[in-house]
Structure 1
């Protein structure tokens, strides 16, 4: 991994973060959006956040994000937020979460698949623009 600030990814990260805040605050009563779409988008947020500051292999990054997301989800199974004494409603309690769900893991997988497909499309588009 090489450190390099990428303004495009940073701005995209900011936009996606604002969408996540909107989902968590304004759209919290919209079950599908809150329960599923937010989990799909959060892995995309993590991807753009890392790409904002590092040049890295996309496939390895996507797999790492999926593994990290699953690790956090399994930590929820063991009530890690309570064991770390995070107070309900606190930022860390919200970030770590408090309820395990296999559906969340599926959503993370869908988000990672979307990122993977977008990176492949972008890669193929760049290759087709190269002069022969």
Structure 2
């Protein structure tokens, strides 16, 4: 739900026209990753955590989810990062249980930064399984 950065910039090395929009050579193009991931046309109710969005029978445009970038500049460590993340989540969830508290905020408010960092700490209750 929360990519590390809001978006990425790309610089065009040649003039391109994509879906009727021309990008002249030397243009800077901003790809708003956070906003693509929050587009209700792609993800109904985008601010709700819904793991079923990632079921195998879900069909969406390949550029609708790009936390590691895409194309020739895709993150070289993407596969390793995803694998390590899955292993870490499994290990943590097998050992502890998370729950909300009265201090847990409903919606995360982000700090003014290039990175997605919460303005205030995320408070959760953690107990051993």
Same fold (TM over 0.5): no
Which gives a bigger RCO, structure 1 or 2 (Cα 8 Å, sep 6+)? 1
Based on CA coordinates, which of the two structures has the bigger radius of gyration? 2
Q: TM-score, normalised by structure 2?
A: 0.32
Tell me which protein shows more strand as a share of its residues.
2
